[in-house]
Structure 1
């Protein structure tokens, strides 16, 4: 059995520039990995089947699963006769705006590259990942990057200044399609991607905190007022900066003072079942 770590990501910025002719939105976002990860186990099968086992009942175990799609894509593209049993130990909340499914798919691509002796480059795996979902390319590399296009055009940047990240996910589901559908690009306040890049390169934590922004918040907060409540509480309990990740509903707070972390976590547990305190990872996979 080969095990691959599949870390979650957060968006320090998420900007939507325009709707493309192909129906997708052109995005520009700064993403970074955090130390909350699923564990993906891969075991070769000789019958050609792809089987999924997950520790979460909310994760599909068929072709809807992105890890399944990753294995199938490699099988079909490279005429692989072998199969695989994929075990997903879920630690990342499901449908949370943290790219859990995309990270599982990325881990599957990397693991099967080894297990099936495909000898593909990390760039090739990221290119394949783009066919599965818009966050998969980033998850193949990990680290910190500006993602453009649908999210598949990746520009690696420096590692952000070290800090704690408190994540809180309310018990609601958010439809990404509905959020994008409700977005009025003309009316939103666009985050400053270049300033965020500068803050990260200069390791300027204060500037980083004042530059975070996510245009999808305006829609999700209207659809789900409980997300706004968590944001307010996280700020009140002392987070340095608070933002929704992806299309939500997870909210994260950045905190440099460790003593404040437990106060924020304990305070949020009254509003939210799923609360995590993790470190910002921000560094690329050593394979990458």
Structure 2
């Protein structure tokens, strides 16, 4: 393979995700909550632009950052972590074209970081396998490993114990009420249910109503989330994703989701995306 041109930009997908349910089933000895969820990867998301540097520097390009210092930005941290782990002398410039709303629970920051890890591992020829990349991703955030592995999955632990799961084809109407609540703050909420009975994959597949532990909390504290879920529920089964304010409804076909989108109240930010079994990022990578 010809070495990548250090001066050329390349564009890579960073897909969004949904948590089709989210339960807290206890705490670990280290204080972290034990979760159960299903991650559904989507065919829509951010774009991560990368350009190699010969001087070893890792820099953020463009107008990104959204108030986050360069050294604290997950994409910069991901590149520097991989660089250190694999003892890489090259550097990179990173630009993120944002489409996924910040703090909505759609996984944007985690997916951007995972794309940096996976793609720079390829472009730098670092040679780390998927397990090592996922372990690096976990150092950056609990949702990063699912994007590194690139498969929709059943998840346990803090979200890193992943079992690939074949999900039926579906289209989703996504709504962003514009509410961003820090995850750490939500986990400290006194009325959060932290001891739900563990579910099984069979429970999920059978259609059992497993819910999202954060939904009642956010509905009580945010009128915007309550209004978005009420609006969505008039169109289809509505739910909260992750620990942000983002909501979604599931439909059997894209045309149905698009028709539902046209009936939303004016002013709601909304997108339609389809579920995928394999991440668009992994489809974009050259065969090994």
What TM-score comes out, normalization by structure 1 length?
0.87
Give the structure 2 partner of residue 99 of structure 1.
Answer: 107
Shift of 1:92: 1.0
Q: Give the equivalent residue in structure 2 for 1:222.
A: 220
- Are 2:64 and 2:95, in contact at CA under 8 Å, matched by a contact in 1? no
Q: Within the alignment, does 1:251 sit opposite 2:259 as a pair?
A: no
* CA–CA separation in structure 2 for the residues paired with 1:187 and 1:129: 25
Q: Is the 8 A contact 2:38 2:152 kept in 1?
A: yes
State the TM-score, normalized to the length of structure 2.
0.87
1:85 corresponds, among 93, 97, 120, to: 93
Query: In the alignment, which of 18, 22, 31 is matched to residue 26 of structure 2?
Result: 18
Aligned CA distance change for structure 1 residues 32 and 55 (closer, same or farther; 3 Å) = farther
Contact residue 100 and residue 108 of structure 2 kept, 8 A: yes
**Range 278-287 or range 104-113, more displaced:** 278-287
CA, structure 1 residues 143+260, in 2 after alignment: closer, same or farther (shift >3 Å)?
same
Q: In structure 2, which of residues 245, 256, 262 is the aligned counterpart of residue 266 of structure 1?
A: 262
Larger mean Cα displacement after TM superposition, 143-152 or 53-62: 53-62
Change (3 A) 1:157 1:263: closer
Gapped regions of structure 2 (runs ≥ 5) = 1-8
Which string of whole-angstrom CA distances, capped at 9 and with x for unpartnered residues, describes residues 187-208 of structure 1? 8766844245434xxxxxxx3x
Q: Residues 263 and 212 of structure 1: is their aligned pair in 2 closer, same or farther, counting only changes over 3 Å? A: farther
Q: Is the 8 A contact 2:20 2:40 kept in 1?
A: yes
Q: Taking structure 1 as reference, are residues 187 and 128 closer, same or farther at Cα in structure 2, changes over 3 Å only?
A: closer
Q: Is the Cα–Cα contact under 8 Å of residues 192 and 214 in structure 2 kept in the other structure? A: no
Aligned residue pairs, count: 275
Unpaired runs of at least 5, structure 1: 200-206
How far apart are the structure 2 equivalents of 1:191 and 1:259? 35
Among 266, 280, 283, the alignment partner of 2:278 is 283
Structure 1 counterpart SS, 2:263? helix
Aligned ranges for residues 183-202 of structure 1 at < 5 Å? 184=191, 192-199=199-206
Q: Is the 8 A contact 2:177 2:246 kept in 1?
A: yes
Distance of 1:60 and 1:8 partners within structure 2: 20
Q: CA deviation at 1:119?
A: 1.4
The yes-or-no answer on 1:176 pairing with 2:183 is yes
Shift in alpha-carbon separation, 1:177–1:149, aligned structure 2, 3 A = same
SS of the equivalent of 2:121 reads helix
Instruction: Give the Cα separation in 1 of the matches to 2:270 and 2:193.
Output: 34
Q: How does 1:54-203 map to 2 (within 5 A)?
A: 54=62, 56=64, 58=66, 60=68, 62-158=70-166, 160-182=167-189, 184=191, 192-199=199-206
